[in-house]
Structure 1
Amino acid sequence: MDQKTQSERVGTAPETTACARCGAVANGLPLTWTCSVENGSRVYFCDDCARTHIRSIEGRLDSSWW
């Protein structure tokens, strides 16, 4: 059987997550952090960085622009 179980498809949360903008580190994956897909990879932004750059995030600008 080559079918993956649901837990394999979904994956597990990382032990620590780092903000792609400021480098802040959190245990697990905080529900209040923002996730973005840039150049095919998933990046996370902490609350402070997300609040500061919310207009750019909503405009779907890559973080390299802000």
Structure 2
Amino acid sequence: MTSPPGGGENGSAGEPRRFVCARCGTSVDVPAEGPPLTWTYSVESGIRQYYCESCSRENLRSIEGRLDSDWW
């Protein structure tokens, strides 16, 4: 699926987008497309959930444990 330039899920180009950690509530405004490089995300019940660097590191084993063996 593609989005037109400057539109789509991340809003218009150059506009900061706020990401909020689904676990601890930490938020960050990012001027680039997508979440910060150190954040992770998962799709749960069809909804994309973002997790900050701290929560991702603290729960890495649980995150990896949910992946199909094809991913590792």
TM-score for both structures, normalised by structure 2:
0.65
Larger helix proportion of the pair: 1
Equivalent residue, structure 2, for 1:12: 10
Identity of aligned residues (%): 47
Which ranges in structure 2 are unaligned for 5 or more consecutive residues? 68-72
What's the CA shift string for 1:16-36, capped at 9, x where partnerless?
Answer: 100000000011221110011
Give the total of aligned pairs: 57
TM-score for both structures, normalised by structure 1:
0.70
Which ranges in structure 1 are unaligned for 5 or more consecutive residues? 62-66
Q: Within 2, Cα distance between the matches of 1:5 and 1:17?
A: 20
Q: CA RMSD in A?
A: 2.4
